[in-house]
Amino acid sequence: MGLLSGCAHYPARDVVLEGAVVAALVVDGYQSATATAHCGEQNPVIGHCGEGMAPSVYFPTVIGAHVLLTVMQPRGWGRTLLQAFTLGVESHVILRNYAVQHP
């Protein structure tokens, strides 16, 4: 509960959406770690075999950057749009990764 206490001045919608974004990025990170083990990653920053940047570095960096960008957005539609867009992109990536990894 201590973690969310810092979010007390944020609407519940923002906290829930950002939590969903972080959860989706964690799932994508797990899928990327599995894909790099078989040299099948499609993210050009990470590289097929993880030669670019390890998923264990990339995803915490992306999560931190996204949380920071979200906090910097003024309350309202801009923040919601950022979160919804990211969640939509990540949902697509997760489904595509699943389809590739489980033909």
Q: Quick: pLDDT tens for 44-78.
A: 999 999 999 999 999 999 999 999 999 888 888 88
pLDDT value of residue 68 = 94
Place of tokens 């919804």: 84
Instruction: Report the amino acid identity of residue 61.
Output: T
Q: 12-37 and 55-72 helices cross at what angle (nearest 10)?
A: 160
pLDDT averaged over the chain?
A: 90
Torsion of CA 59, 97, 54, 14, to 10 degrees: 0
* Structure confidence at residue 11 as a pLDDT band (50, 70, 90): confident
Q: Which two tokens stand for residue 98?
A: 């699943």
* pLDDT > 90? residue 82: yes
pLDDT value of residue 24 = 98
Using CA atoms, how far apart are residues 19 and 84, in angstroms rounded to an integer? 12
pLDDT value of residue 2 = 44
